[in-house]
Structure 1
């Protein structure tokens, strides 16, 4: 029988360490300046502070031993070298190749896939340039200024997240001037109605995203929009108004789309990681121009390289992963709140829900053995300060839910009102800094009594504190930083 990670000595060591942590309040841990300083790090302008996790330096050292027992370093190397780490489908997992530099070599089944990636990227650049500069026009000769991308799951959630984040970036909003990008995912006809509302088929380009061109919901929506275009402009208009992101050229052609206007991606791209493939790059390039989207890819590349080469003690993705394991499988906290203090990241939580919960949503090991411990977490979230007026009371006073706070130093759209003592972004960020402290320190009955709170209200106003969180601070939120996120 395959051995489980829970059979190893580092796992058992962490299990026995839980009691020690449960005896310690974050209030006391936060008094240890050396510990706090040790649980902070910076990479390429990104700052991570995880000192408000229910963990000590010793906890982290035990987690690093667990990573070693799980052969994490070898598994990272296996992924980057194109080994078939997706054993259930016998495939490489190479979304990192989608944003690799041109001169990189990343092999899958003995073949360097990076030239293939760049061939598609160059084709996207050429096509999106033509549509944007008006040299590719619709059937009636009008410029195509509106794009509807049809996809579901990863073909929708990743691109929607990036689009929403870029909309208010000054550079991206300038390059998107006069254009619209919409996403049609749900097979519900209400979603169709909302997507075509106010649009003219003459000026609309439809991007159908389906690897096999057989996904039931996507293809029904594609046929619905094909009918919308055909009934307005005639069936011959389809080849001018519809393009595809697919690997099945035969079905693309059968559908009525010119196979020359199909943009490839590969079996080694998992759907939920496909935003950096043609799935996301094509619609986003049509909206913002290829140069903006390329900055997004370079931002993602910076984290790939950091993840691959940085020792675990300073490796942000590894630390976030280990802390999740600690919170879920050892401390027994089933959920995580993703709380970006910027409206631009409002679609981050749904994207991460899929990337994390759909990827890790099994109760068995890679060998198919039922796990004797809880794994995977429930992800949810809203932008601050909206969430504060929605579910934060539960987080402060009810169940313990570890929180990931994400803040931006420089707002995409700063506002300075005359006679306002604090500008809007500073008001937002004061909440970003206050919430993790309130969760960690809480408020004791004694403090409330000293503030003359009526005795019958003391239990209702007591915050126990000792609620874990971490904070990620970005210098700004442009295409590069969105790629890093």
Structure 2
């Protein structure tokens, strides 16, 4: 809302107060506040008040900006893809139900085998933001320590999600995955490249080169490399231990036919339902986020303190010693910028 008020000030300073109704739209469940803000309620896109932010991609919150970026015909394909997996999840028997099977695997890895993390590894730069989105979807939903009835859990629930596009991750954290901690991995590959390139004289195309890594990494995690294999390859004895890979490290591979809007919608919905399945089995409420609310309420106290200290010179009080010292340092070295000194384009 502060960003919205900043933008409103920028618009009205140049075009007058009436410009808000003509140049700003809202996505909101509260038409009264939309009108009070200055936006015409006719220019408000509604959605249900029970739709959580991380599940709102298919509501007006997500579809409006996606439509402005790509056009609604493309976004409609995205929605159709998501709906196809919704129907699959709703109607398919459990033994063939992909989100159910994936959810069961995650619960097995987390609660039974004790593997707390999961890596999401798309072998395409176009999905570079997919892992961070699933990180929020999963960790904000299932990061719980009590059951839906408020009883403390006697087992571990929730998982630590992270990831990077394939070859970026290979030079970042794959070393840990192969020879350090056991981290289940989701490998996501694409059969048809969006930008196929084949250089004359090269052994394979650019996409084949990328997919060679996609196929090799799960194989390496599963099979590893034994000391006997290394000795047969004449590896020096002092390097045997360093080059041994234990193998038997869990992963799954998802191979999409192409990276169309429809297939991306399927991929997103598959993970959404998978995370819901985990929550159902763990007996937790995947659709609240009280941990987030605590941070927001504490931020309100800090906001009030900053205002009083800057406008009235009030001392910093009511915080633990560490936080109080940080706030004091911040106030001392970061005086507010006078409005008339802000750049004209802010």
TM-score tier after normalising by the smaller chain length: 0.7 to 0.9
Verify: 1:253 aligned to 2:35, yes or no: yes
Verify: 1:439 aligned to 2:234, yes or no: no
Verify: 1:288 aligned to 2:77, yes or no: no
Which residue is 1:418 aligned to?
200
Cα distance, 1:481 vs structure 2: 0.4
Q: 1:265 aligns with which of 31, 44, 47?
A: 47
SS of 2:26's partner is strand
Segment of structure 1 superposing worse, 400-409 or 458-467: 458-467
Distance 1:229 1:417, change over 3 A: farther
Verify: 1:382 aligned to 2:181, yes or no: no
Distance 1:318 1:239 in 2: 46
Q: Alpha-carbon deviations, 1:388-424, whole Å to 9, x = none?
A: 0100000000000000001110011211222222111
Verify: 1:314 aligned to 2:96, yes or no: yes
Which residue is 1:244 aligned to?
26
Distance 2:22 2:166 in 1: 43
Distance 2:247 2:264 in 1: 32
Cα distance, 1:238 vs structure 2: 1.9
Aligned counterparts, 1:35-50, within 5 A: none
Distance 1:240 1:430 in 2: 52
Distance 1:480 1:299 in 2: 4
Which residue is 1:361 aligned to?
143
Cα distance, 1:270 vs structure 2: 2.1
Cα distance, 1:240 vs structure 2: 2.2
Distance 1:448 1:226 in 2: 66
Distance 2:25 2:169 in 1: 39
Aligned counterparts, 1:25-424, within 5 A: 219-424=1-206
Cα distance, 1:484 vs structure 2: 0.1
Which residue is 1:476 aligned to?
258
Segment of structure 1 superposing worse, 402-411 or 443-452: 443-452
Figure out how many residues of one structure are paired with residues of the other and give that number. 267
Distance 1:341 1:228 in 2: 41
Structure 1 regions of 5+ residues with no counterpart?
1-218
Verify: 1:452 aligned to 2:265, yes or no: no
Cα distance, 1:310 vs structure 2: 0.6
Cα distance, 1:455 vs structure 2: 1.6
The structure with the greater share of residues assigned to helix is 2
Aligned counterparts, 1:18-29, within 5 A: none
Cα distance, 1:230 vs structure 2: 2.2
Cα distance, 1:374 vs structure 2: 0.5
Cα distance, 1:256 vs structure 2: 1.3
Which residue is 2:301 aligned to?
none
Q: Alpha-carbon deviations, 1:144-190, whole Å to 9, x = none?
A: xxxxxxxxxxxxxxxxxxxxxxxxxxxxxxxxxxxxxxxxxxxxxxx
Distance 1:247 1:428 in 2: 44
Structure 2 regions of 5+ residues with no counterpart?
268-346
Q: Which runs of 4 or more aligned residues in structure 1 lie more than 3 Å from their structure 2 counterparts after TM superposition?
A: none
Which residue is 2:279 aligned to?
none
What RMSD over aligned residues (CA atoms) do the two structures have, in Å? 1.0
Q: Alpha-carbon deviations, 1:347-388, whole Å to 9, x = none?
A: 111111111111111011111111111011100000101100
Distance 1:383 1:228 in 2: 38
SS of 2:143's partner is coil
TM-score, reference length from structure 2: 0.76
TM-score, reference length from structure 1: 0.54
Cα distance, 1:460 vs structure 2: 1.4
Segment of structure 1 superposing worse, 231-240 or 266-275: 231-240
Cα distance, 1:330 vs structure 2: 0.2
Which residue is 2:286 aligned to?
none
Q: Alpha-carbon deviations, 1:210-269, whole Å to 9, x = none?
A: xxxxxxxxx001111112222233332222221100011111111111111000001232
Distance 1:402 1:417 in 2: 35
Distance 1:454 1:409 in 2: 39
